[in-house]
Structure 1
Amino acid sequence: MELKWALLLSGLLLVSSESRTCDKGLQRRNSSCVDEDECVTPGVCGDHSKCVNTPGSYYCSCNDGFRSTTPNLTAATGQCLDINECLEKTHDCSGDLECVNTIGSYNCSCRNGYRPSRLDADCLDIDECKPDPDVCGTNAHCYNHQGGYSCKCPQGYSNYGNDQSKCIEINCDHFEHLEDAPVKLKHLLALLRNSCEALRDSYGSRKTGEQLLENVFTSSDELLSEGNIADGETLNQFLDAVENSMHLIGPQLKEPVTRMETHNTFAEVAVKWGQAPPSGRVTLSTDSALFSTSWETVVGKSYPGFAFAALVSYKDLNSSSDLLHKMSRERSDDEERSVTYQLNSKVVTAVVSNAETKHLSEPVMLVFTHEEERAESEGVAYSCVYWDEAEGAWSGRGCEGAWFNSTHTACSCSHLSSFAVLMALYPVQDSFELVLITRVGLALSLVCLFLCILTFRFCRSIKGTRTSIHLHLSICLFIADLVFLCGISSTHNQVGCAIVAGLLHFFFLSAFCWMLLEGVQLYRMVVLVFHTTLKHLYMYLVGYGVPLVIVTVSAIAFPAGYGTERHCWLSLDQNFIWSFLAPICIIVILNSFVFIITVWKLAEKFSSLNPDLSKLRNIRGFTVTAVAQFCILGGMWVFGSFLFYEKVTQVALYLFTILNSLQGALIFIMHCLLSKPVREEYCTLISRICSLKEKKYSEFSTNQSSNSQQPLRSNPTTGESRYRAAVSPGGSL
């Protein structure tokens, strides 16, 4: 029994020993714990460091030339930083050698302009003038000195104040005096010419680049504020002067990037100096544009020791309509479609030190901010354009739109000049639905108005002053709708289009004048007891005389106002459209006032003690139809007054088209079909026509039956019977 318990106890001790875990950093091998090498795992330490294994752990040690960022570098998160031996003075460079720090170490080398000596650690001066005789440029003198050299430019040449840049020829003829230029532009050119000559001939005190740039922009502000840059010649001279001034000022700027903003101009200039040409991208921006290109494009084929790029934006430089109209010459279909143009961005000038910018090896990118946020649609398109000095107009050749949205347009151009974004406004073509509604509705309106004219002219039971007014109203609307249907789009003939516009102006005004007369007539019928009719002479003077005077005065004052590029209607120029809208507004206000008084007086008569109900009901019916007619025609021109503006909404366009197309049908319904006397006349006329057809058919049937049943024989009474039948009503004689 004791032996049994002893064996059991020893087994438990063995199991407990085997299940025991090893400490951190150790691993079990054959029932014993041994050290684990953590340095075998890649990346256990940070960059520029090495891993050192220890029993049960490890630590990281920085390589030579590096220092730990933490006091105890024991984890992979620790980093080793380079030790700058040159800054901490731990180098051993002696003599003329200077310390140049490298990653993890340092080098001892000679300064620029020196080379190491083969014998000792000293440095010898390099004679830069010997290996490259043209280091200073043509006809320039190179002078060597310790650690460098300097260039002395001959007269007519300059290195813009940098002694180690090539001397290039300075041409001041770009700033020659122009006799026909504005006074402020002459002052600007004189300022630039004086600065150019001072730089070229090295005489007197020369202004710094920053001072000269400020003076140029001050003169530009004065010129732009006067608004004298309207014609192509002046704009050409101004933009050319600004471009040449950047070539003069850019190399004289000392800062790598110079920004300057005045009242009417905004500029940013980037400059780089050095023995080697710069590389990479250069990006300039102003308040309204961004310019991006490569330094290789800026430098070009020759590098004189400097390179610059400039972007100038003009805040108040607007181009005249004549210059924008020349854009249509590049596209013949635009001129046929009557396309109009307007600048939708500020004008900018992009200038680089490269002299050959007519055909760039790599396109430059310009991003413009729109002056008017407007998405491209069927009637709007954006074009990237530049100022063509040879043509004296804006041109799109060599520039393409890379991308656009409602606020910005990006342009890719293969040359440099002054650029802008041009917004082309195309005439929106009427949809098929609008054309169909207009033609079908006007045809129906013409038929109904023709029936109204016949009714008011020949229906005796409704003869009176009010009927005469309706007759002339229908005649005016009939002629206006007929002219509108046939000639509103006849813009190819300028004279014919003006005649169509004049006729529409006259007859639509006349229709409103006859509506005013109807309101006056209703007022007289309600308020006056005797002499309630209007004399025809007075009605003709108001209905036709007033419109004739308005049209005549308008044609004399502004004859070009009749007919536009899109429609044969009144022009929007000089607010000429108000020669129609102003009389309409006056008539609408007067008629509204008259109808209000009429309804008020009519209500008083209905509430009187002994009203003539039959007469008052007739007048009430007249008033209701007159007000309804006034609302139809007046409401039509509420929408129609905005029809010929570019921003007319589709809702207003459709409402005007529907009301204009159906006004004749509505007048026929109100004044003819809803009038009891007219309906009775229609019924009488229809019954007469039907009875006449029935009688003819009856006589024809009787004659056929008689001829077929009776033999042909002589009868003494036949001649008399035939004579009576012939002379009786319905006979054939």
Structure 2
Amino acid sequence: MAGLMSTEVAENFLKIVDATQVKVSELVSAEDKSKLVSYGNTYLKVSERLVSALVTPTQTHNWLNISLSNTEGKVFMVGPQVTLENIPRLDTTNSSVDIDLIGIAKNNNERSAAVAFMSYNTMENLLKPDFFNTSNDMIKTMMSAVISATLPKTTNTKLTKPVNFTLKHIREFDPSGSLVCVYWNISEWIVDGCSVLKTNSSYTVCSCDHLSTFAIIMQTSRRESESDSLMELLNLVCVIVGLVFFSLALLTFALCQWSPGVNNVARINICISLLLAHLLFLLTQRFLSLIKPLQVLCAVISGLLHFLFLSGFVWMFIEAVLLFICVKNLSQISSKKREVLSSGFLCVIGYLVALVVVCVSVGLVPEGYGSEDCWLKQDKGFIWSFLGPVCVILALNTILFIKIVITLNSTLKKLNAEVSQMKQTKIMVFKTLAHCVVLGCSWILGFFTNGSKVLEILFLILNSQQGTFIFLIYCVFNNEVRLLLNLPACSFL
């Protein structure tokens, strides 16, 4: 067939076969393994023969690019007069291969050889990861595009050295999962002759001693998946509770009449930023299956979340600055705020800083938004566009808190002797601890949650309950609010 077909006819047939691949997978039931395997094998065999028809003799070397709707690839041919010492890496969008084609050609009487490297973007719909026969307790996920490498029109196909495939991960990497390099053996995925040479969160390098059809499959424990379901339920309940208390805090700040010495602008905007962020994140996760296929919408949502969470942190820092001013100027709190930090100026700073960070991030790495969860992608360290500012703000808050304690302690020594030292100490400790929790201490746990379910649950609860903390500290335990509601005053505030 391949020897009698012109390259033009082969190209046309290849386009037709490629176009029917997705339609075939949609017509076959996911449970009908025999049909899926049969269609998958047929598609691979026909594609291999059509690509073989595209290989033409050459005296030196020659390239051929293949770019179709669901398939892409490279064909490289070398002849007896090739001057290259090593062939360049053959790559597609999500994969690449390093093969010693020069050495293979030298082992052929014709001193020529060709390699066809193909990447099938939708082949996993036919050759499913569940066809990797391991323990039923494991969940299998296809982590790469299905690729194939063959040596068309090459007499001696024996490899002179192992072939290395670099496969980019097409889904979020789970650190708890186990990655394996597999190849397709007629009816199932197996690992014989292939091993993981190198891996990270973005890609995996597989080394194989033969050519075939390959992929990366990740295995995760089904028990962990059930645990994740419980985590999702806990997250849903905690976030909803937090949203309720954010709303109650905002109502309290809006409806209660505060004394002129109290500036709630930072607290109000913290509530607004985090309320919108948690609400948007909650809705996104609830409708993720509908949002994820819309890549632009998913990227926009991740950008909005980036902005809202960052603005929440900026407002946390502003609240710490206001607290420092209060302690530094106990005798003129309100006037000092009005002179130096007006509400309008604070609003500009509170949102402009976050907006600038997001705009710079979009300008530098526009493809960094829109992960599997519609959040920031891990590629190229893009997550540090969020973690970097967070670390800076947490560090500045820590410095401010230390300064506040030192300043407050110095001020207490100068107070009237009739003031109870114990009461003032309680105020100092409580205020510092309360602000530390509200202004981001819970986020520090986020850096240490990897591999620890206890820390992950603790982080989830503390982070989702920031609205609860704000409502308790500034509303329920605030004497001004309690007097307005005719409630007894708190002895420690």
> Which TM class, normalised by the smaller chain length?
0.5 to 0.7
Aligned equivalents of 2:254, 2:475: Cα separation in 1: 12
Q: TM-score, normalised by structure 1?
A: 0.43
Q: Find out whether 1:475 has 2:272 as its counterpart.
A: yes
Partner of 2:134: none
2:359 paired with 1:552: yes
The verdict on how the C-alpha distance between 1:504 and 1:354 changes in structure 2, with shifts beyond 3 A counting, is closer
Matches of 1:650 and 1:419 in 2, distance apart? 40
Query: Is the contact made by 1:632 and 1:659 (CA closer than 8 Å) also made in structure 2?
Result: no
Counterpart for residue 724 of structure 1? none
- The offset of 1:632, in angstroms, is 5.3
Please report the RMSD computed on the Cα atoms of aligned residues, expressed in angstroms. Answer: 5.2
- The aligned counterpart of 1:439 is 236
Equivalent residues in 2 for 1:165-180 (5 A)? 176-180=59-63
Residue deviations 1:327-354, cap 9 Å, x none? 54645799xx9843289xxx99999x99
1:660 maps onto 2:463 in alignment: yes
- Residue 264 of structure 2: SS of its match in structure 1? helix
Residues 339 and 426 in structure 1, CA contact (< 8 A), matched pair in contact too: no
Q: Specify whether residues 593 and 219 from structure 1 end up closer, same or farther in structure 2 by C-alpha distance, changes over 3 A only.
A: same
Between structure 1 and structure 2, the one with the greater Rg is 1
Shift of 1:651: 4.2
Is the CA contact 1:328–1:339 (under 8 Å) kept in the aligned structure 2? yes
Following the alignment from structure 1 to structure 2, what is the Cα–Cα distance between the partners of residues 405 and 510? 52
Q: Which runs of 5+ in 1 are unaligned?
A: 1-172, 195-215, 251-318, 358-366, 386-395, 410-415, 686-733
Give the equivalent residue in structure 2 for 1:423.
216
Matched residue of 2:85: which SS?
helix
Q: Which amino acid aligns with 2:352?
A: G
Aligned to 1:486: 283
C-alpha deviation, 1:520, in angstroms: 1.0
Tell me the secondary structure at the aligned position of residue 216 of structure 2. Answer: strand
Q: Given residue 552 of structure 1, which amino acid in structure 2 is its aligned partner?
A: C
Among 315, 327, 331, the residue aligned to 1:526: 327
SS at match of 1:518: helix
Distance 1:578 1:377, change over 3 A: closer
Are 1:561 and 1:570, in contact at CA under 8 Å, matched by a contact in 2? yes
Q: CA deviation at 1:629?
A: 3.9
Compute the displacement of 1:463 (Å).
5.8
Contact in 1 for aligned 2:141/2:217 (Cα 8 Å): no
Residue in structure 1 matched with residue 313 of structure 2 by the alignment = 512
Provide closer, same or farther for how the CA distance between residues 620 and 513 of structure 1 changes in structure 2, counting only shifts above 3 A: farther
In the comparison of the two structures, how many residue pairs are matched? 379
Alignment of 1:278-677 (within 5 A): 323=119, 325=121, 328=124, 330-331=126-127, 339-341=142-144, 379-380=177-178, 382=180, 384-385=182-183, 396=184, 398=186, 400-401=188-189, 418-419=211-212, 422-425=215-218, 431-461=228-258, 464-488=261-285, 489=288, 490-528=291-329, 529-530=331-332, 531-533=335-337, 534-564=341-371, 566-608=372-414, 610=416, 613=419, 621=427, 624-625=430-431, 627-631=433-437, 634-640=440-446, 649-677=452-480
CA contact (8 A) 2:317 2:439 kept: no
CA distance in 2, matches of 1:518, 1:617: 23
CA deviation digits over 1:544-570, x for unaligned, max 9?
121122222222333322211x21111
Question: AA paired with 2:364?
Answer: A
Cα distance change on mapping 1:243 and 1:592 into 2, 3 Å: same
Would you say the 8 A contact 1:602–1:620 is kept in 2? no
Distance 1:464 1:495 in 2: 46
Q: Which amino acid aligns with 2:182?
A: C
CA distance in 1, matches of 2:447, 2:181: 31
1:341 aligned counterpart, secondary structure: coil
CA contact (8 A) 1:473 1:514 kept: yes
Give the Cα–Cα distance (whole angstroms) in 1 for the partners of residues 127 and 175 of structure 2: 19
Q: 1:397 to 1:481 in 2, by over 3 A?
A: same
* Pairing 1:230–2:91 present: yes
Contact 1:512 1:584 (8 Å CA) reproduced: yes
| CA distance in structure 2 between the partners assigned to 1:235 and 1:653 by the alignment | 36
Distance 1:471 1:593, change over 3 A: same
Question: CA separation in 1, counterparts of 2:395 and 2:97?
Answer: 53
Instruction: Normalising by structure 2, report the TM-score.
Output: 0.61
Cα–Cα, structure 1 residues 567 and 618, in superposed 2: closer, same or farther, change >3 Å? farther
Shift of 1:444: 0.7
Do 2:144 and 2:217's aligned partners in 1 also have CA atoms closer than 8 Å? yes
Point out the structure with the larger helix share: 2
1:384-433 Cα offsets, whole Å, 9 max, x none, are: 32xxxxxxxxxx35374557899789xxxxxx952586422479857221
- Find the aligned partners of 1:447 and 1:654 in 2 and give their Cα distance: 20
Contact 1:384 1:399 in 2 (8 A): no
In 2: Cα distance, 1:667 partner to 1:400 partner? 56
Output aligned runs, 1:714-733, within 5 Å: none
**What SS class does the counterpart of residue 321 from structure 2 fall into?**
helix
Compared CA separation, residues 464 and 450, structure 1 to 2 (3 A)? farther
Mapped partners of 1:626, 1:514: distance in 2: 17
CA shift digits 1:228-267 (9 cap, x unpaired): 43349x97996665544334499xxxxxxxxxxxxxxxxx
Would the alpha carbon gap of residues 551 and 573 (structure 1) be closer, same or farther in structure 2, given more than 3 Å must change? same
Paired letter, 1:516: F
Kindly indicate whether the alpha-carbon contact (under 8 Å) linking 1:606 and 1:613 is maintained by their aligned counterparts in 2.
no
Percent of aligned pairs with the same amino acid: 26
- Whole-Å Cα distance in 2 between the matches of residues 369 and 652 of structure 1? 38
CA distance in 1, matches of 2:98, 2:364: 37
Distance, in Å, in 2 between the alignment partners of 1:602 and 1:523 is 9
